[in-house]
Amino acid sequence: MLTQSHYERRRLETLVENRTVYTLQHAELNIYETHLYATQVELAFTEPVLASMLRGKKVMHLRAQQFDFFPGESVVLPASELMRIDFPEASIENPTQCLALTLDTEKIDHVVHYLNDKHPRLEEHPQWNFTDYNFHFTNDTAVNQIIARMIFLFTENHPSKDLFADFMLKELIIRLMQTEARHLLMTQAGKQPDSRLAFILHFIRENLHDALSIDQLSRKACMSQTHFFRCFKNELGISPVDFINEERIKKAKQMLQDPGNSIHQACYGSGFNNISYFNKVFKRATRLTPSEYRLQQAIDPV
C-alpha cells in the first residue's frame, strides 16, 4: 500500500519503528517501519490518532487491553494514550509497516457538529461524538480505500493536496464514528430494548434464513420505509440490504469451513435463495468464489 514516492523520500535511520512524517494542515501521517524483533516499544501522540496495520504483525498493549494487530485492522486512540508494542516477527526480509494518522481536534469537532446538526441520530441514542477510548476494529472496504488514498495524497507533491485531504478527512472521521456506532449497536443487539436499530440488528441476525424485506424491518422498527432506510444508513454507514448480505456471507463462510456442507447448503442455509446471486455477492465480499474460499480454507485453515 505504501507508494513509490514514500520509498524514494524516506531514510532508514533505525531498524525499530523508523519514522517518516508527512504533515498537512489538519493531520499528520506517520509511517513506521520495523525490521528487527523488539518488545515493549512505547509510543504516544498529543492528538487523537488512527493507527492502521499495513504489513506484518504487532502485539498491542493498551492499558489492560492486549491484542494481535494485523493488516486490514485499525485502532483509534485518544490523545496522549500510551501504546506498548511488541514486534514478534519483524525482520529485514519481513518488516512491519504501520501508519499513524493524527487528527486535528478542531477538525474533529467541526465534523461532529456538522453531523449532529445535519444528520442527527435517533432520539434514543446519544449524539454523535468521536470516540474517547481505544476502539479496535477490522477495516471495511471504504476505510481501506480512504487509507490508501490518504497515503497517496500525503506522499505526492501536489499544490492542492491540503484541499483534497480536507475532504478525505471529513469522510474518514464520519466513517470512523459510524463504524463505532455500528459496533456498539451490534454489541447491544438484543440487550438494549429502547434502541430500535439494536432491536432490528438482533432480529436480522436471528432470522437470516428467512426472507427479509425493508417493509418488514421498517414496520418492526415502527418507522416509515423512507425514514428507516435513512436512519439505518446514517447511523451504520451501510444500507439494510448490504448489512443483511454481510451477515449472510459471515454465516456462509462458517458453513463452508465445514467440509460436510456443500456450496448449495451454504447458499440456502445462510439465507440466499439464488445460487447465482450468492456467488456474485460472495465474490464481491471476499474476492473469491465460494469454491475458491473453501479451497483456501482447506490449504490454510483459520
Split at pLDDT 50, 70, 90, the class of 51 is very high
Confidence (pLDDT) at 188: 76
Split at pLDDT 50, 70, 90, the class of 181 is very high
pLDDT digits (tens, 9 = 90+) for 130-145: 999 999 999 988 999 9
Split at pLDDT 50, 70, 90, the class of 190 is low
Domains of the chain: 1-187 (2.60.120.280), 188-241 (1.10.10.60), 247-299 (1.10.10.60)
Diameter of the chain measured on Cα atoms: 61
Percent of the chain with pLDDT over 70: 97
pLDDT at 70 over 70: yes
Residue range 72-99: mean pLDDT, rounded:
96
Q: What is the C-alpha to C-alpha distance for residues 298 and 57, in angstroms, rounded to an integer?
A: 23
pLDDT at 302 over 60: no
Confidence (pLDDT) at 9: 86
Confidence (pLDDT) at 192: 64
pLDDT digits (tens, 9 = 90+) for 222-279: 999 999 999 999 999 999 999 999 999 999 999 999 989 999 999 999 999 999 999 9
Confidence (pLDDT) at 191: 67
pLDDT digits (tens, 9 = 90+) for 207-220: 998 989 999 999 99
Residue range 28-52: mean pLDDT, rounded:
97
pLDDT at 85 over 80: yes
Chain centroid offset of residue 133 CA: 16
pTM reported for the whole predicted model: 0.87
pLDDT at 301 over 60: no
Q: How far is the CA of 2 from the CAs of 19, 98, 130, 143, 212, in angstroms?
A: 13, 10, 27, 16, 41
Of the candidates 9, 12, 8, 166, the one whose C-alpha atom is nearest the C-alpha of residue 97 is 12
Residue range 172-187: mean pLDDT, rounded:
93
- Find out whether 6 and 20 touch, Cβ atoms under 8 Å: yes
